[in-house]
Amino acid sequence: MNAALPLAGTVVLDASRMLPGAVLARTLVDLGARVVKVEDPHSGDPMRLTPPLVGGTGAGFLAFFRGVESVALDLKSHAGAAALRKLARHADVLVESFRPGTLERWDLGYERLAALNPGLVVVSLSSFGSEGPDAGRIGHDLNFTAVTGFLSELSSGDLPRVQVADVGAGLLAVSSTLAALLLRHRTGRGIHVDQPLVTGPLPFLTWAFSEVGTGGGGVLDGILAGKSPGYRTYGCSDGTRIALGAIEPKFWAALCEMAGIPEHAADGLDAGAAGADAAARLSAVFGSRPRADWLALADAIGIPLTPVNDLESAREELAGRMERTSLPGGGVMATPAAFLGLPGLRRPHAPAPALGADTARVLHEFGFTAEEIAAVAD
């Protein structure tokens, strides 16, 4: 345990499944928490078997669950539920993603666990939350991006290849969990955090909803719709693309000078005829030389111009922001390092565990007798 990390000494039981809980667990590990993943002994987290598989384990599982421990418990059984209740006595946080009411049926609901451990913070990651008319509905990332309007805002009309709602909800759960722990520090009591996955896209849409509710005509229909020449992508002579983010007048004016179109120095955010003409002129200019030339020129004068990378190119360009995650059987893969900016978070982690690899050791450490451990294993 690294005592210098913010969550050093904090014990988290992660009984959730799939990506939202994985984002939360990974971030809590980075912050120094001890995360014990509680998994079904027969199947484990579905991420374990989500392709591509490396040594029989999903690459995503390996990336998100490095540094955690795995305990296999059948929570539907009497022995498994009893084991989780005993573990919860010693935990600071319990994360779960079951449909509302499921844990109550297994005698594992918040009220039951809080009676055993008043300081316990329980974080629920259900689809639509535990209250309101949608409580109990189920869904996945596609459903959440669709119902919130996020999906309709994608210009291509295709399905997103990244899980915005799941990741967004996981990061919101990080904030909620840290706030709950801070509140417990002041009051001495834990709380139940209800973080519906449908909330994941909402921070991305708050500005958009503000425009829709007040008549529109703002950045949603202008700059973010690609109608302004200073905020869009352009093609280069080598078939690559660049992204221009010259919102500030000084950057746009410097670009116009560099591109030989100083007469458009006031048109960077124009969404009308002048902006369209400036974009056409710039398209011709950028299309006359390879991307490397434009990036070098932009760096020299300080213009926000970047390559439009595919994932392979991005992984190379962001090498300094990556960590090397160990793979079963040897080898490593590059994945993003700690998401948060606190010092000391980037450090080596143990590889993701095999299903139930730590069951006996963790249960013994938490005071289980040999008979209790054997009962869980049966």
Query: Into which CATH architecture does domain 11-200+319-377 fall?
Result: 3-Layer(aba) Sandwich (3.40)
CATH number belonging to the domain at 223-235+241-307, selected among 3.30.1540.10, 3.30.1360.170, 3.40.50.1100, 3.30.2320.50:
3.30.1540.10
Of 45-54, 72-81, 345-354, give the lowest mean pLDDT range.
345-354
pTM of the shown model: 0.94
Nearest CA to 315 among 329, 325, 330?
Answer: 325
Q: What whole-number distance in Å separates Cα of residue 305 and Cα of residue 369? A: 62
Confidence (pLDDT) at 202: 96
- Single-letter code of the amino acid located at 144: F
The per-residue pLDDT for range 317-339, each reduced to its tens digit, is: 999 999 998 888 888 999 999 89
Q: Where are the strands (E) in the chain, listed by range?
A: 11-14, 34-39, 53-54, 57-58, 69-72, 93-96, 121-124, 192-194, 231-235, 241-245, 305-307, 322-326, 332-336
Structure tokens at 244: 């221009």
Higher pLDDT, 344 or 185: 185
Residue 335, Ramachandran bin (φ over 0: left; ψ between -120 and 50: alpha; else beta): beta
Q: Break the chain into its structural domains and give their ranges.
A: 11-200+319-377, 223-235+241-307
Does pLDDT of 316 surpass 80?
yes
The per-residue pLDDT for range 55-109, each reduced to its tens digit, is: 999 999 999 999 999 999 999 999 999 999 999 999 999 999 999 999 999 999 9
Q: What is the mean pLDDT of residues 199-217?
A: 90
